[in-house]
Structure formats: C-alpha cells, structure tokens
Amino acid sequence: MKVLVATEKPFAAAAVEGIKKEIESAGNELVLLEKYTETAQLLEAVKDVDAMIVRSDKITPEVLDAAKQLKIVVRAGAGYDSIDTAYAKTKNVVVENTPGQNANAVAELVFGMLVYAVRNFFNGKAGSELKGKRLGILAFGNVGRNVARIAKGFGMEVSAYDAFCPAEAIEAAGVRACKSQDELFQTNDIVSLHIPATPETIKSINYAAVNQMPKNAILVNTARKEVINEEELLKLMAEREDLKYLADIKPDADAEFTKFEGRYFATPKKMGAQTAEANVNAGIAAAQQINAFFKDGCTKFQVNK
C-alpha cells in the first residue's frame, strides 16, 4: 500500500525516520510531500495513494475527490477539525486521530504560560504563586488529565468538568468533579480549556461564562481559538481589569487583545504539541494505526464512524 505523509509544516526529521521505518516494516511504501505551498501540489500527490498521514493540513472535499484510492487518513494529533470527516465518510474513507500522543506537551505548555502570567510576564515586579490556587479543568480528556497530574505537583486545588466523562472517573483521578460548567467557572481562580471545537463548544466560552470567575481570574486556552466568543471576551476584559487571558492560538482579534497589556499573552504560533517527543509519538502512532488498518482492518481510533 502507498502511504503519503502530506505536511505543510513538516514533522521533525526523527519522526519522519520513525514513520518510514514503521510503514516499510509492514511492507508498505512511504512517499513524502513536505512544505507544499499550493493546494495543487497536494491534489497531485494524493492521486494514487491508499493512506495519508497529515498534521494540521486541510483535507477538504476537493482533496478527498482527488484521492481516488484513499482508504484512510490519519491526523497525527488530537483535534481533527481540519478534516471534512462527514464528506470522508460518504467516500468510505476512514478518518483517525492519534489521541493522547501530544497531551503531555500541551499540558506542560499550560504551566509554562501560567507561571509567566502569575509572575507578571517577567516585568520585574513581584508576582504570585500557583501553589494553593484553584485550577478548573474544562474537559477531562487526555490533555485535561495531564494538566491535573502536573497541577498536583504545583500544590494546586484541582477540579474538573467534562460533559461526557462521569464524575466518578474524575474523582478516581483524585480531582474534584464539578456538577456543571458554570460551577467550574464560579469556583476556580484559573480555568484551563481542553474541550474540542464542536458545534456545541464553538463560541461557548463567552461573557456570561467567564464573568462568573472570581477576582484576579486567569483563562487559559490551549484548545482551539474557535471555542472563544472573542467579541464578548474582549468586552469582558475591557470591563474587568483583573482578568487575564492566555492563548496557545492567536485569536482572530489578536490586535484588539494585545491592547490589554500585562493581561494577555498568545504564543506566536500554535506551540502546544510542538515538542520533539510529541512529534515522534504522534507520527509513529499514525504509522502504526495505518499498518493495523491494512493488516487487520483495525479502526479503533476512527472518528467518523
């Protein structure tokens, strides 16, 4: 089977090496399309491939139509909103992600940004500590669980809410379970977002939700920019001089947020999963999932069932 790695922003060399080894060890062939600049290059490359590994690359109906032999596309990462999963289903193309492989990387970045923020963005003035602060984790998935583990090391009081994960499972991890998203916002000094971008969550983090947070609140977003209602958060930040917003994905209204000096920080590019370890883990997991699909028809990680 012919497997294409199509990455506008390439994997680290070690990850490509690992993917190649995995794919070839199962008797499959690997082809590479890295740093492409035009959609036309992608459309040409997908023509005769049976499988694809992508990162944040957009897999649109146009790409899926051009990929006549495609049977499976794996997003080396957690979120898969860059792939038209419903259209892929109509073409019998299995879409998978590699959950958990970059979760620790994202979770560590949450704390990098938090320490930076509570120390006043290193402006030379005395800041505060994370120890004893209440951290609310919105969505207790792979990233959320890693955030909880690290937060305990900082001596924080940790609680979480997840619409689909039962309270017992949250409590089994030694974390207080909130009964609702509102309770999470009401009872925490810091709220860290780990929800996927879905029709229910898009723009759900709005004025009413965040305004429930106590004084000197911090909102951290390493999930997706789309979950924030930017217009309403800007309004709230203008009204509440105690509120800080930290983001791993520059908001569309970055210029507007930048006006809140000392209260806003965004990484220049999405940095959450950008570690050598996450890169290698996610790439190799994608290759193993493709091998398992062709060998045994395994679709354990399919997201468009």
Classified as helix, coil or strand, 181 is: helix
What are the b/e assignments for 80-89, b being 16+ CB within 10 Å?
beebbbebbe
Which of 28, 98, 104, 201 is the binder for ligand NAD (CB under 6 A)? Answer: 201
- Interface segment toward ligand NAD; rule CB under 6 A; list 18-26, 31-39, 129-137, 216-224: 216-224
Task: Report the site for ligand NAD in 93-122 (rule: CB under 6 A).
Answer: 99, 102-103, 106
Binding flag, residue 194, ligand NAD (CB under 6 A): yes
Q: Which two tokens stand for residue 99?
A: 């959950």
DSSP 3-37: EEEEESSPPPHHHHHHHHHHHHHTT-EEEEEES--
Establish if 78 lies at the interface with ligand NAD (CB under 6 A): yes
Q: Which is nearer to ligand NAD, 224 or 244 (CB)?
A: 224
Q: Is residue 136 a contact point for ligand NAD (CB under 6 A)?
A: no
Given a contact cutoff of 8 angstroms between Cβ atoms, the answer to whether 182 and 209 are in contact is yes
Whether the Cβ atoms of residue 82 and residue 59 lie closer than 8 Å to each other: yes
- Closer residue to ligand NAD, CB minimum distance, 32 or 165: 165
For the record, the structure tokens of 15 come out as 């990850």
- Of 122 and 164, nearer to ligand NAD (C-beta) is 164
Point out which span in 42-50, 62-70, 191-199, 290-298 binds ligand NAD (CB under 6 A): 191-199
Q: What's the min distance (Å) between Cβ of 253 and ligand NAD?
A: 18
Using rule CB under 6 A, residue 185 touches ligand NAD? no
Q: What is the side-by-side strand order in the sheet with 176-177?
A: 176-177, 157-161, 134-138, 190-193, 218-221, 244-247, 264-266
Residue numbers at the binding site for ligand NAD (CB under 6 A): 77-79, 99, 102-103, 106, 139-144, 162-165, 194-198, 200-201, 222-224, 248, 270, 272-273
